[in-house]
Amino acid sequence: MQQIVTTGRLISRALWNGFTNLAPSNSEHVNKKREPSFLYAVCGFPKESSRKNPPIKGKFGDDAWFSAKGKATDVLGVADGVGGWRHYGIDPGEFSSFLMMTCERLVSLGKIKPNEPNKLLAQSYYELLENKQPILGSSTACVVVLNKETSSIYTANIGDSGFMVVRGGHVVHRSEEQQHYFNTPYQLSVPPPAHSGQVLSDSPDSADTSDFAVENGDVILLATDGVFDNVPDHLLLKELSRVEGVRDPTKLQCAANTIAWMARILAFDRSFLSPFARAAQANGINTVGGKPDDITVLLATIAM
């Protein structure tokens, strides 16, 4: 899969300490069968930005992401490590990063069927459990698989990361957030032995799954809760509608940059009534403002 890293001075300056990535899954000029493929862009920010720490591919703070290409699939995924483990001396980003790297490897090796993204998450999670050197922590996760042979999308989501599909200026598909209670999402976990049974640990089987046909020009946003908690749907829809049918990588990247940067600004706006603040108020918590968090945006269009 071809990858292009954007390092232009203007974009780098605008994104401050963010990282961007462009990746057409294959060339539209070579694709004679007109099979669908992802043209995608990536942008994000760690919650705690530091100019001293260079961006790491596949990570934004405790968030992680991957892209992979199988025999008849294009696959994208995000995961959000649960930050609370930091209080126990555990790096929350290690769990999410390993989960996504394992997903990437399994897809590349052809180990997963296109219509079983939940099994992709499950197999990656079980490898975490069986690792000789335990990788401890918890994470939400969302995986989107494009089956090129059937022009269909298959998804699996655990927790409050998620996806949104826009067509004709409308949201036609989106994930359902999974919460045990307010601000406590479903999550895959590998706790220390001393905490086994005392922390939330959801089964991969609890993943919410969906499948649907895609059309040329469809726009897919895959993101962690740092985006959905801070950017209202109408603002997301406005940006996503602008890139319907777009095959210009620069335009797609600019849209991903805009969404990530908007989420970053609103996260630190103390007077903004964010989606997170609205949800908190609905649960009896009197608060306003955004929710500072790691931010990951994968923005894709369907090219046929």
The average pLDDT across 47-57 equals: 76
Q: Give the domain 37-303 fold.
A: Phosphatase 2c; domain 1 (3.60.40)
pLDDT tens digits for range 89-123: 999 999 999 999 999 999 999 999 999 999 999 99
**Under 8 Å CB-to-CB from 189, ≥6 apart: which residues?**
82, 137, 138, 139, 199, 200, 201, 202
pLDDT given at position 300: 98
Domain boundaries, the chain: 37-303
Q: What is the pLDDT of residues 152-182, one digit of tens each?
A: 999 999 999 999 999 999 999 999 999 999 9
DSSP-assigned letter for residue 205: G
Of the listed ranges 101-110, 124-133, 257-266, the least confidently predicted one is 124-133
The C-alpha atoms of residue 223 and residue 200 are separated, in whole angstroms, by 22
**Inter-residue contact 247 to 301 (CB < 8 Å):** yes
Q: Is the pLDDT of residue 194 over 90?
A: no
Task: Using alpha carbons, list the distances in angstroms from residue 115 to 33, 95, 164, 205, 225.
Answer: 21, 25, 19, 15, 25
CA atoms within 13 A on the CB side of 298: 29
pLDDT at 197: 75
